Amino acid sequence: MKTAEEKLKDFDAYIESEEKIEPKDWMPDEYRKTMIRQLSQHAHSEVIGMQPEGNWVLRAPSLRAKKILLAKIQDEGGHGLYLYSAAETLGISRDEMIEQLHSVKAKYSSIFNYPALTWADIGAIGWLVDGAAIVNQISLQRTSYGPYSRAMVRICKEESFHQRQGYEIMTTMMNGTAEQKEMAQDAMNRWWWPSLMMFGPPDNESAHTKQSMQWKIKRESNDVLRQRFIDKTVDQAHFIGITVPDKNMKFNESTQHWEISPIDWEEFKQVISGNGPCNHKRLSHHIKVHKQGKWVREAALAFSKNQQKNKATLFTN
Ligand code: FAQ
């Protein structure tokens, strides 16, 4: 029988050899805890993220735009479901995760505490928010937990369509009337900084990065991913003639990176402590709808129990 120390040594060696950890494998409690925290936060973000966009389904400017937006929102719900299922393989139930969300013990992404005020915000969410999400998630395809890594592969395929639909909206508006250009710029001004905050605090203040990178849960640090997103997105902004709201931003020829002004981390802290513009609205809506959906969950459960009973009778007869 191996000691805890020996098990940990084997686990570390296994991670080092780029093998995936699977649900029934032994893992340190802290690894399990971190994985549950990140997976459940990620799942909650996908589901809460449906709210700002859902607000625009009935006001989409054309049938084409409405169909695309509906498909995107539905995808986000699906991502939430894969991620809740992946988290459940670690021994936590969906009900527990939802309870932690409702009692503010679990977080969801800071970005979804901002309002979607105009149609251009739908463009900005797709371009910037999905754009940031995809940079993070491409890296997470190589995460060490098997079910998370596999969910990420599928999610990334869909996110790339989401990013393109947002960029298409922004491109169309930037080629439109003066008012449309103004709306697109206004959305850019409001979503740029919050989308940079999505990557989390700077590396030197990030509580979990060091251990998560040792365990290959995170493959790259918050700052590295944030910089990758900045470099990609600034070029895309220039291409459609939209201004990045950062007067001091400059291109560093020697590093080949765009350097930005300092991020307002106080705003980030406020938002993740429940004081963002929409925290209360997002959570209370989720709680209300979850209560309203109780009968659906019960009916689905009763149906599936009935199916199982019928199957059992079929095999015993
Ligand atoms: N918001 O030590 P770190 C999407 C917290 S999906 C809120 O750096 P970590 C799709 C962090 O939890 C977007 N809290 O933490 C879509 C920790 O607090 P805790 C979601 C944040 O975990 C698009 C503390 O700060 N994506 O957008 C945030 O190592 C459009 C210290 O931070 C994911 O969740 C934040 N932004 O790194 C849907 C990706 N950042 O838990 C609909 C998976 C940090 O100790 C429409 N997650 N915190 O109380 C990750 O990659 C990581 O968890 C990070 C944070 C990078 C987010």
Report whether residue 113 contacts ligand 1, using a CB cutoff of 6 Å. Answer: no
Mutate which of 53, 101, 272, 282 to test ligand 1's pocket (most atoms within 8 Å of Cβ)?
272
**pLDDT, tens only, 122-156:** 999 999 999 999 999 999 999 999 999 999 999 99
E strand map for the chain:
250-252, 257-259
Report whether residue 201 contacts ligand 1, using a CB cutoff of 6 Å. Answer: yes
The total number of residues written for the chain in this structure: 317
**pLDDT, tens only, 15-69:** 999 999 999 999 999 999 999 999 999 999 999 999 999 999 999 999 999 999 9
| Cα–Cα distance list, 306 to 169, 296, 309, 311, 312 (Å) | 46, 15, 5, 9, 10
What residue type is 94 in one-letter code? R
Token digits for 103? 């009692």
What distance in Å separates the CA atoms of residue 108 and residue 133, rounded to the nearest whole number?
13
Chain centre distance of CA 44: 8
Q: Point out which residues pair with 257 in neighbouring strands.
A: 252
Contact predicate 231/259, CB 8 Å: no
**CA-closest residue to ligand 1 atom 40:** 200
What distance in Å separates the CA atoms of residue 287 and residue 280, rounded to the nearest whole number?
11
Q: What topology does CATH give the domain 4-274?
A: Ferritin (1.20.1260)
Structure-token match 């590093």, residue found: 255
Token digits for 89? 């393989």
What distance in Å separates the CA atoms of residue 234 and residue 237, rounded to the nearest whole number?
5
**pLDDT, tens only, 92-129:** 999 999 999 999 999 999 999 999 999 999 999 999 99
What residue ranges do the domains of the chain occupy?
A: 4-274, 278-317
Q: Which positions ≥6 away from 5 have C-beta within 8 Å?
A: none
Report whether residue 51 contacts ligand 1, using a CB cutoff of 6 Å. Answer: no
- Angle at CA of residue 106, ends 15 and 162, nearest 5°: 75
What distance in Å separates the CA atoms of residue 203 and residue 267, rounded to the nearest whole number?
17
Q: Is the pLDDT confidence value at 74 over 70? A: yes
pLDDT at position 308: 83
Q: Please give the model's pTM, rounded to 2 decimal places.
A: 0.95
Residue 26 vs residue 306, higher pLDDT: 26
pLDDT at position 317: 61
Report whether residue 282 contacts ligand 1, using a CB cutoff of 6 Å. Answer: no
What distance in Å separates the CA atoms of residue 175 and residue 171, rounded to the nearest whole number?
6
